[in-house]
């Protein structure tokens, strides 16, 4: 997910929509935006954007506006929501194929565990996509 966010940010820079069109050397480097950044950005308290500011500093982005921070966060939201929906669609396909009345799905991984919304998005989308009459619960290791 981090690489997809990075690619979107780079494209927005090239189109002069983000960071006044100035792309940092670090941001232009493949693999420079780890997925954990998404969780950290989305964990920011409303209005403070302290995590977002720190990550921009780490990425070598010096000149940014409040609007840039909002767009940066929105890109993280959209990409992670899409990822949750794709994962949920795959899970729902398997559940619909297995067709047992009550099933538990075990999910592991740092994104599912640390992302502030990912688990809710996956659970809600799976429930939306499974056939009527099927029930599913989620289990994550703690």
Q: Note the pLDDT tens digit of each residue in 21-73.
A: 999 999 999 999 999 999 999 999 877 899 999 999 999 998 899 999 999 99
DSSP letter string over the chain? -HHHHHHHHHHHHHTTSSGGG---TTTTSTT-S-THHHHHHHTPPTTT-HHHHHHHHHTT--S--HHHHHHHHHHHHHHHHHHHHHHHHHHHHHHHHH--SEEEEE---HHHHHSTTHHHHHHHHHHHHSPTT-EEEEE---
Percent of the chain predicted with pLDDT > 70: 96
Instruction: Place 111 in a pLDDT band, splitting at 50, 70 and 90.
Output: confident
Domain range summary for the chain, segments of one domain joined by +: 2-80, 82-139
| pLDDT over 50 (residue 128) | yes
């Amino acid at each position: 997910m981090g690489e997809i966010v990075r690619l979107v940010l780079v494209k927005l820079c090239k189109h002069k929509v983000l960071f006044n069109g100035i792309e940092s050397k670090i941001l232009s480097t493949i693999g420079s935006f780890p997925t954990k950044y998404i969780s950290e950005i989305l964990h920011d308290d409303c209005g403070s954007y302290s995590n977002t500011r720190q990550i921009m500093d780490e990425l070598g982005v010096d000149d940014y506006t409040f609007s840039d921070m909002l767009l940066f966060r929105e890109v993280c939201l959209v990409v992670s929501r899409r990822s949750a929906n794709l994962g949920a669609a795959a899970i729902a396909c398997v559940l619909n194929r297995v067709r047992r009345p009550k099933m538990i799905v075990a999910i592991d991984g740092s994104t599912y565990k640390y992302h502030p919304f990912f688990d809710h998005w996956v659970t809600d989308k799976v429930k939306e996509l499974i056939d009527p009459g099927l029930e599913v619960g989620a289990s994550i290791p703690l």
